[in-house]
């Protein structure tokens, strides 16, 4: 064996008896000790490694702060918390991967469903300190570069979820759409203004009193007919499903869950009661395989009506109050012994249990896997119910769930900082397999102004999940509700013109175990590229530099090499060769500027109002390359293979 091969093979060191989280799909060779970490064993395990001043630390997926995680303290403990500030240690997902760019780059994945604390040069310690439960598997990865290590990791965790083509179209959502009339007005608002739209989300109000797998018959008297009518217009309906099942004898989902013992149990061994949107609920025990089949099967009540996409929510699980705490969690202060501003549901997570292979396991010990297993439950059964690919995305996640669905990044706000955070988070999500991801464009909480929405749409044009979503009681956030609708048409049309590229690059990344969105530093090793975290590489050809500042007429862009600058104004692409270096560009509110790397191409097609009317085979190539490897299929076939990649030549 060559030195290189020994150096490159990932290795796994097992501490205690960790449970199989399902994150990895490949075998990893076992080792007795870690190469980069000192281990202290106690009640918890502590792993330490030294950092040099210039080392960069990537990873952690859905987390706050920069692409470079240095200087932060992060807690993997899935949390329903809308305050996505830089000192918020926990968001909705746990993705325990670190990649250290140093003299001999390495990565480490801390595979445990319990809480993990990452202190990355926290308070200038010059170290990474990771605190884990005592049962954990640690996978170390070695490679030539951080990018190489990320690809090795993607290989270990398996192919990312690939939704149908329509899921790459634009989606509109709002918590507060109640009935067909509301959805009709959204469809009409988009179609009437010549704005593209492929899907509309149905938030909790479509249900009968927020009860999963029910449809409010007054609001949607014939959902099957309605979904079919919408589909004819090129618009799919995407209902929400929440984790908690309302306690209501007589409801078939509830009755079956009780009869078969599918719910999580409390200290006394009875189904645990916690309040979420429907009032008191029980939580399905997704750790039981039969429970997963049962819950996933319930989606049939909607797929039988023609539904082909879902979003899974409140699956951290979010708890407003429980039979034990009794008061609104939101009113309970966080524990004083932990500087982390964790969700107050933490108390409840120590009050209920799962049945894992006949063992009673405290929820807190396996907390981070709950949402991921809900996604798996839905995905495995949707795959059986539908003869085509489906859309599925979740709020809570763990590595492994990326094979079953996508994620959105939860309840952000209509704030420029949240746009910045969205930009920075995308490459980290890609490192851990969540290629199909995106934020609530325009922001969930608060009132989104026109300028912010336009700039945010311009960025979301490049994220696989592109959905405008907002909370009840905020101002109307549909694009046609703003003055100067033509500007919105101009931006939205770019998404559809770029679909041949976005779809191809996404599918190729999934097929090849690659990232769809990367930091600049994964391809360029100059010092400036290593620091930039407001520019990203999208697929193999594009670099973007989104405008993320209020009132800005443009921005500075770092070009690590000569590139083709492409300016799109809603009608035309104008291209110009730009030399390497720092450049100030103007970007009008109705424009998007992006860059094509040398000798690369970007296929563009004609604008369309929905993906059903897009012709992905009719493309023109932009850029200085001479050919492009394009993935083309019918947009829904389950058989996504290399053989669907064709070479397109420049005319």
Contact positions vs ligand GLC (CB under 6 A)? 175, 203-204, 240, 313, 395, 410-411, 444, 469
Q: How far is the CB of 79 from ligand GLC (least distance, A)?
A: 12
Closer residue to ligand GLC in complex, CB, 298/411: 411
Closer residue to ligand GLC in complex, CB, 212/505: 212
Angle, vertex CA 47, rays to CA 46 and CA 48, nearest 5 = 120
Q: How far is the CB of 408 from ligand GLC (least distance, A)?
A: 8
How many C-beta atoms surround the C-beta of residue 62 within 10 A? 26
Closer residue to ligand GLC in complex, CB, 440/633: 440
Q: How far is the CB of 247 from ligand GLC (least distance, A)?
A: 19
Element (H, E) at 100: strand 97-101
Per residue, the 3-state secondary structure of 169-187, as one string, reads CCEECCCCCCCHHHHHHHH
Nearest-angstrom CA–CA distance, 616 and 89: 42
Nearest-angstrom CA–CA distance, 157 and 602: 29
The residue of the chain with the least Cβ separation from ligand GLC equals 175
Closer residue to ligand GLC in complex, CB, 61/239: 239
How many C-beta atoms surround the C-beta of residue 639 within 10 A? 8
Q: How far is the CB of 236 from ligand GLC (least distance, A)?
A: 18
Nearest-angstrom CA–CA distance, 491 and 56: 35
Nearest-angstrom CA–CA distance, 463 and 421: 13
Closer residue to ligand GLC in complex, CB, 395/530: 395
Q: How far is the CB of 166 from ligand GLC (least distance, A)?
A: 20
How many C-beta atoms surround the C-beta of residue 379 within 10 A? 22
Burial 123-160 (b: 16+ CB within 10 A, else e): eeeebbbbbbbebbbbbbbbbeebbbbbbbbbbbbbbb
Closer residue to ligand GLC in complex, CB, 469/597: 469
Q: How far is the CB of 286 from ligand GLC (least distance, A)?
A: 19
Q: How far is the CB of 395 from ligand GLC (least distance, A)?
A: 5
Closer residue to ligand GLC in complex, CB, 204/593: 204
Closer residue to ligand GLC in complex, CB, 150/243: 243
Residue 428's nearest CA partner among 50, 15, 44, 96 is 96
Q: How far is the CB of 241 from ligand GLC (least distance, A)?
A: 10
Closer residue to ligand GLC in complex, CB, 200/240: 240
Q: How far is the CB of 175 from ligand GLC (least distance, A)?
A: 3
Which positions ≥6 away from 289 have C-beta within 8 Å?
Answer: none
Residue 329's nearest CA partner among 296, 356, 357, 351 is 351
Helices (H), 246-353: 252-260, 289-298, 300-303
Residue 56's nearest CA partner among 65, 46, 67, 72 is 67
Q: What are phi and psi of 438, to 5 degrees?
A: 175, 170
Cis peptide before 317 (omega within 30 of 0): yes
Residues pairing with 47 in the sheet:
39, 130
């Amino acid at each position: 064996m060559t030195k290189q091969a020994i150096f490159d093979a990932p290795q796994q060191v097992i501490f205690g008896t960790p449970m199989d989280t399902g994150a990895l799909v490949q075998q990893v060779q076992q080792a007795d000790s870690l190469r980069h970490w000192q281990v202290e064993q106690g009640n918890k395990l502590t792993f330490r490694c030294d950092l040099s001043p210039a080392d960069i630390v990537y990873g952690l997926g859905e987390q706050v702060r920069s692409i470079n995680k240095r200087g932060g303290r992060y807690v993997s403990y899935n949390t329903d918390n809308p305050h996505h500030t830089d000192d918020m240690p926990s968001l909705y997902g746990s993705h325990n991967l670190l990649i250290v760019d140093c003299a001999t780059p390495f990565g480490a994945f801390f595979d445990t469903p319990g809480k993990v604390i990452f202190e990355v040069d926290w308070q200038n310690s010059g170290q990474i300190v990771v605190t884990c439960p005592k049962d954990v598997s640690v996978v170390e990865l070695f490679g030539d570069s951080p990018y190489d290590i990320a690809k090795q990791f993607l290989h270990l965790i398996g192919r990312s979820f690939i939704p149908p083509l329509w899921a790459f179209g634009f989606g509109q959502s709002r918590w507060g759409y109640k009935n067909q009339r509301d959805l009709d007005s959204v469809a009409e608002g988009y179609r009437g203004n010549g704005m593209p739209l492929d899907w509309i989300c149905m938030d909790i109000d479509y249900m009968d009193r927020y009860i999963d797998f029910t449809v409010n018959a007054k609001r949607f008297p014939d959902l099957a007919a309605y979904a079919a009518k919408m589909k004819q217009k090129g618009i799919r309906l995407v209902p929400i499903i929440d984790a908690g099942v309302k306690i209501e004898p007589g409801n078939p989902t509830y009755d079956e869950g009780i009869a078969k013992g599918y719910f999580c149990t409390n200290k006394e061994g009875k189904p645990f009661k916690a309040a979420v949107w429907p009032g008191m609920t029980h939580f399905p025990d997704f750790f039981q395989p039969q429970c997963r089949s049962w819950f996933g099967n319930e989606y049939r009540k909607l797929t039988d009506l023609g539904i082909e996409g879902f979003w899974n929510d409140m699956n951290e699980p979010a708890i407003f109050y429980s039979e034990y705490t009794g008061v609104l969690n939101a009113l309970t202060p966080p524990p004083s012994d932990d500087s982390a501003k964790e969700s107050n549901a933490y108390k409840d997570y120590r009050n209920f249990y799962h049945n894992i292979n006949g063992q009673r396991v405290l929820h807190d010990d396996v907390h981070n896997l709950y949402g991921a297993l809900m996604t798996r439950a839905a995905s495995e059964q949707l795959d059986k119910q539908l003869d085509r690919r489906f859309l599925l995305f979740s709020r809570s996640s763990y590595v492994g769930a990326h094979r079953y669905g996508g994620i959105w990044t939860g309840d952000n706000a209509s704030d420029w900082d949240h746009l910045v955070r969205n930009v920075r988070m995308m490459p980290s999500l890609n490192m851990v397999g969540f290629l199909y991801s995106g934020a609530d464009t325009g922001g969930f909480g608060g009132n989104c102004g026109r300028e912010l929405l336009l700039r945010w749409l311009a960025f979301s044009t490049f994220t696989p999940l592109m959905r405008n979503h907002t909370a009840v009681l905020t101002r109307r956030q549909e694009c046609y509700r703003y003055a100067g609708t033509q500007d919105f048409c101009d931006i939205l049309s770019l998404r559809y013109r770029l679909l041949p590229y976005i779809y191809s690059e996404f599918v190729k990344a999934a097929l090849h175990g690659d990232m769809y969105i990367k930091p600049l530093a994964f391809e360029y090793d100059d010092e400036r590229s290593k620091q930039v975290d407001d520019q990203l590489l999208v697929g193999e050809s594009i670099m973007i530099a989104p405008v993320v500042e209020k009132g800005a007429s443009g921005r500075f862009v770092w070009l690590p090499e000569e590139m083709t600058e492409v300016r799109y104004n809603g009608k035309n692409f104008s291209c110009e060769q730009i030399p390497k270096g720092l450049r100030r560009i103007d970007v009008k509110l109705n424009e998007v500027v992006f860059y094509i790397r040398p000798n690369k191409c970007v296929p563009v097609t004609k604008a369309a109002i929905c993906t059903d009317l897009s012709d992905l085979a009719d493309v023109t190539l932009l850029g200085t390359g001479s050919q492009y490897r394009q993935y083309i299929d019918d947009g829904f076939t389950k058989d996504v293979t290399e053989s669907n990649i064709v070479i397109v030549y420049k005319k």
